[in-house]
């Protein structure tokens, strides 16, 4: 099962924006990003999401990749605001 994100506009990391783009994720990795017409055929169990725009490959850096493994409310009062 793959996840497909079908967008009105796909903004790739390189090149010009693509009107009518699709991103296909397979096991959490980008398997395809490009024009919807060039996308591999969808499977019967694929999850499909339709969005106005997509920028594949972005990381949510606000998750502090090297930070806490789990939220800890007790640390909120002791964390330096610069690090928050």
Q: Over its length of 84 residues, how does the chain's per-residue pLDDT go in tens digits?
A: 899 999 999 998 888 999 999 999 999 899 999 999 999 999 899 999 999 999 998 776 665 555 556 666 666 566 555 554
Q: Which residues lie below 8 Å from residue 10, measured CB to CB, with a gap of 6+?
A: 17, 18, 20, 21, 22, 23, 33, 34, 35, 53, 54, 55, 56
Partner residues linked to 24 by β-bridges: 4, 32
Q: Where are the domains of the chain?
A: 3-75
For the record, the structure tokens of 43 come out as 């499977």
Q: What is the model's pTM?
A: 0.69
Range 3-75 classified under CATH 3.40.50.970: no
């Amino acid at each position: 099962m793959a996840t497909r994100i079908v967008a009105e506009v796909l903004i790739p990391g390189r090149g010009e924006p693509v009107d009518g783009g699709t991103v296909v994720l397979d096991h959490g990795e980008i398997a395809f990003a490009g024009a919807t017409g060039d996308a591999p055929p969808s499977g019967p169990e694929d999850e499909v999401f339709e969005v106005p725009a997509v920028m594949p490959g972005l990381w949510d850096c606000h998750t502090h990749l090297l930070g806490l493994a789990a939220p800890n409310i007790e640390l909120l009062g002791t964390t330096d605001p610069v690090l928050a």
